[in-house]
Amino acid sequence: MALRAAVAGASGYAGGEILRLLSGHPETEIGALTGNTSAGQRLEASQPQLLPLADRVVEETTAAALAGHDVVFLALPHGHSAAVAEQLGDETLVIDCGADFRLADAADWERFYGSPHAGTWPYGLPELPGAREKLRGARRIAVPGCYPTAVSLALFPAYAAGIAEPEAVIVAASGTSGAGRSLKPHLLGSEVMGAMSPYGVGGGHRHTPEMIQNLSAVAGERVTVSFTPTLAPMSRGILATCSARATPGLTAARLREVYAEALAGEPFVRLLPEGRWPTTAAVAGSNAALLQVALDESAGRLIVISAIDNLTKGTAGGAVQSMNVALGLPEELGLSTIGVAP
């Protein structure tokens, strides 16, 4: 019998991608679609690409609307998930695509988000060491941020193997869908096309403590992260360029070996063959993360580059993958590593 899944925030970009994936998932059926300003509209108004759901009507996001589902995906603005989740029973799998339950450290939360900490849920990045165990059987899941997904996948093997100094430097470019559908002047098409634009520079981006948390846990020591996000003139995709000083004696062969071993068997993370580099174009609409590594002997640094689709592996695909793990379904069910290119 199919699992009934509801999506709160169905008219946003993350919500739309969740619905796209659920539409192709053999074990789910789509239940309530809820929204805020879009309540009362047909889904076609906000998600014209989801033809089979065109006539579905968006309801107001309330506990009543979301009740009675096996799985509830929350794609809400930060700070709204706790109140909704509280009203959903423990038998419901609640998967939060927002930030509210990602951070373990309340002080970090309060410093970066300026509101009281709601708590910490099992973290929906199955590839991290120990993560799958915590996800199995979980009924609450915090889906990682899109940047932390790209960065943690890129660097966890190095920190797990102790081949990188604990000072990571990361510059990432994201498509504009990562900023959501909010009406802000700098997100207008006329501003975005032709523009590479940094933001949150100098440690201010809210995804920074999440990266520090993930990498430090793997490294077993505090890893500092210098993170600079930039907005790129494209709709989807993140390319993260991550580097750190290599520990003494590291060779290119050993670097490659570390990554090959750490990623062996992972269905969605692929270390590319030598000579090939990840691009965002190769993962559009795909749940794959592509990685490549290099050792810059002259600068004494290892460089790892990862590419993901911020809406798929970076949000909705990661959410569905974690759902599969939590519910004991095959991890790859309803997900694909085939992108839409060119």
CA distances from 206 to 15, 19, 102, 231, 334 (A): 21, 26, 11, 15, 30
- Specify the amino acid at residue 310: N
Work out whether 26 is an interface residue with a copy of itself (CB under 8 A): no
Work out whether 297 is an interface residue with a copy of itself (CB under 8 A): yes
Angle at 338 between CA 173 and CA 122, to 5 degrees: 65
Work out how close the CB of 117 gets to a copy of itself at its nearest, in angstroms, rounded to a whole number. 19
Count how many Cα atoms sit within 13 Å of the Cα of residue 161 in the half-sphere of its side chain: 20
Work out whether 82 is an interface residue with a copy of itself (CB under 8 A): no
Angle at 177 between CA 176 and CA 178, to 5 degrees: 85
Count how many Cα atoms sit within 13 Å of the Cα of residue 287 in the half-sphere of its side chain: 24
User: Which one of residues 192, 218, 316, 327 is an interface residue with a copy of itself (CB under 8 A)?
Assistant: 192
Distance of alpha carbon 104 from alpha carbon 119, whole angstroms: 7
Binding mask 220-249 for a copy of itself (x = CB under 8 A): ----xxx-x-x-xxxxxx-x-x-x-x----
Work out whether 216 is an interface residue with a copy of itself (CB under 8 A): no
- Specify the amino acid at residue 161: A
Work out whether 265 is an interface residue with a copy of itself (CB under 8 A): no
Q: Strand pairing partners for 292?
A: 305
User: Which one of residues 89, 91, 184, 265 is an interface residue with a copy of itself (CB under 8 A)?
Assistant: 184
Work out whether 188 is an interface residue with a copy of itself (CB under 8 A): yes
Residue nearer to a copy of itself on the CB measure, 36 or 235: 235
Work out whether 183 is an interface residue with a copy of itself (CB under 8 A): yes
Q: Which stretch binds a copy of itself (CB under 8 A): 73-81, 142-150, 152-160, 275-283?
A: 275-283
Residue nearer to a copy of itself on the CB measure, 77 or 233: 233
Binding mask 145-174 for a copy of itself (x = CB under 8 A): ----------------------x-x-x-x-
Q: Which stretch binds a copy of itself (CB under 8 A): 61-69, 122-130, 154-162, 198-206?
A: 198-206
Please say if 146 is a catalytic residue.
yes
Work out whether 24 is an interface residue with a copy of itself (CB under 8 A): yes
Full DSSP string of 210-253: HHHHHHHHHHTS--EEEEEEEE-SSSS-EEEEEEEEBPTT--HH
From the list 10, 58, 72, 146, the catalytic residue is 146
Work out how close the CB of 263 gets to a copy of itself at its nearest, in angstroms, rounded to a whole number. 13
Full DSSP string of 313-332: IIIIHHHHHHHHHHHTS-TT
- φ/ψ region of 341 (left if φ > 0, alpha if ψ in -120 to 50, else beta) reads beta
Work out whether 196 is an interface residue with a copy of itself (CB under 8 A): yes
Contact 182, 271 (CB under 8 A): no
Q: Strand pairing partners for 305?
A: 241, 292
Q: Report DSSP state, residue 312.
A: I
Q: Which stretch binds a copy of itself (CB under 8 A): 96-104, 122-130, 152-160, 268-276?
A: 268-276
Work out whether 296 is an interface residue with a copy of itself (CB under 8 A): yes
Residue nearer to a copy of itself on the CB measure, 118 or 308: 308
Work out whether 92 is an interface residue with a copy of itself (CB under 8 A): no
Contact 257, 157 (CB under 8 A): no
Footprint (CB under 8 A) of a copy of itself, residues 33-62:
42, 44-45, 47-52, 54
Active site residues: 146
